[in-house]
Amino acid sequence: MRRTLTVDALNAWIPRLAEMKTAERARLRGVSAPRARQILAGAIVAKATMDTLDIRKVDVCPWALREGIMLHHLQTLQVYDGLPLQAISTAVPEVSGRGGPGKSLVGLSRGA
């Protein structure tokens, strides 16, 4: 199942999350108790990043950031030419400018 996050959804959720106590956030679907304290900060960082990069929608990846960084690093190593790593999305040019044109570890969309 494809999951996306939009700027509009973040605009709606950030004030709601800010008003909630940590225990209330922990009861939200998909938010674990240990992450309940961090979810508001994560939403604010995601919104600031999307605004800065002029991105309206992102595909939510089931992997953690560290796995994405490791896979991206492995893609750039010449010694692993035969390693069958593929970008998750090749439809949008990479934001960081590294790894060649059309390579991206996350699916980004500037449109609605």
Written as one letter, the residue type at 78 is: Q
**DSSP code for 102:** T
What's residue 98's pLDDT?
44
Give the angle subtended at the CA of 61 by the CAs of 30 and 80, to the nearest 5°.
140
What's residue 3's pLDDT?
84
Helix, strand or coil, per DSSP, at residue 109? strand
Let me know: does 25 contact 40? Beta carbons within 8 Å: yes
**pTM for this predicted structure:** 0.57
What's residue 79's pLDDT?
57
Beta carbons within 8 Å of 87's beta carbon, 6+ residues apart: 75, 99, 102, 103, 104, 105
Task: Show pLDDT as tens, one digit a residue, over the chain (112 residues).
Answer: 778 999 999 999 999 999 999 999 999 998 999 889 999 999 999 999 999 999 999 888 766 677 777 777 777 775 545 556 555 554 544 444 444 444 444 444 444 4
What's residue 100's pLDDT?
43
What's residue 7's pLDDT?
95
Q: Where are the beta strands (DSSP E) in 42-93?
A: 57-59
